[in-house]
A and B are shown apart, each in its own frame.
Chain A
Amino acid sequence: MRTRLALRSAISLMVALVLVGCRSGPTEGWSSRVRTMILTSDPTEIVMSSSKVPGYWAREASSGQEFFLHTSARSFKKGSRVTVEGPFGSAYPAVFRDEAGVYLRGYSTLVLVVWKMEKEAADRAPRP
């Protein structure tokens, strides 16, 4: 009897966790690996769940994958090479692509929440 009760409790807990998991979105990218990005925009913003999210558009140097880097920092410039740390996940925000003047609602992209962001060492070095 105790075994059945324990099994039932375990199943209930699993179902509850699955339900919570379904509501909280994808869990990919929860790593603090340092990534090198090339900023493809000046400071801008996207809108998720009616909230403005400041940051930059960027491409990962190694894969070319596009990311939106969510940060309140505004000191970086388009074209800068930066290293970023933080978790990321897929999202469908409303975006305005300045370069083309195109507005898109439900744009599929990866949003990286910046924990740490700095200019890459090579980008900081003085040029002759």
Chain B
Amino acid sequence: MRRAPEVLLPSLLLGLALLQAGCQSDLRPWVPPEDHKAKIISEAMFVRTGRGDYVDGYLAEYGAEAPKRRMFMVLEIPRYLRGERLIVTGRFTGDSVRMSFGDQDQETVPVFELERGAPDVPAAPDVPALK
């Protein structure tokens, strides 16, 4: 009976340590961030995702080939404007948002969690000077 605290105390401390580690863990597997050139095609929206999260963001299109692919770009400070072109870095979370476009049926749009967004300012063409 006297030894019970000696056994219980380390177990309790180990349990606390594991609990803390568990609370801070992110169960999603790590994937590297992706860079895309994107264009914002909506105003800022507050939507509910398929997993039940409520998020702020914009509908955006990206990709070089036509038709462009769509994504729902999630960010915490929505200050961009419709039509802005951005270079975005982030990750697709595996979550999605159901949206309807015009007369079409609802479409499932993947959620892209933005880590960095910067204006895409095209470099001026290198035009040789007239002689």
Contact = CB atoms under 8 A, between A and B. Distances in A.
Contacts of B17: 19
Contacts of A103: 75, 77, 79-80, 114, 116-118
Contacts, number: 50
B4 interface: no
Interface string B92-120: 00000000000000000000011111110
Q: Give chain A's interface residue range (CB within 8 Å of chain B).
A: 20 to 34
A8 to B, nearest CB: 7
A29 interface: no
A125 interface: no
Contact of A95 (B13, B20, B77, B114): B77
Interface in A74-128: 94-96, 98, 100-106
A11 B115 CA distance: 41
B9 A102 contact: no
Contacts of B9: 8, 12
A2 interface: no
A50 B53 CA distance: 12
B75 A22 contact: no
Contacts of B80: 101, 103
B35 to A, nearest CB: 14
A73 interface: no
A110 B79 CA distance: 22
B76 interface: yes
Nearest to A102: B118
A47 interface: yes
Nearest to A97: B118
Interface of B: 5, 9, 13, 16-17, 20, 75-77, 79-80, 113-119
Interface of A: 8, 12, 15, 19, 22-23, 45-47, 50, 94-96, 98, 100-106
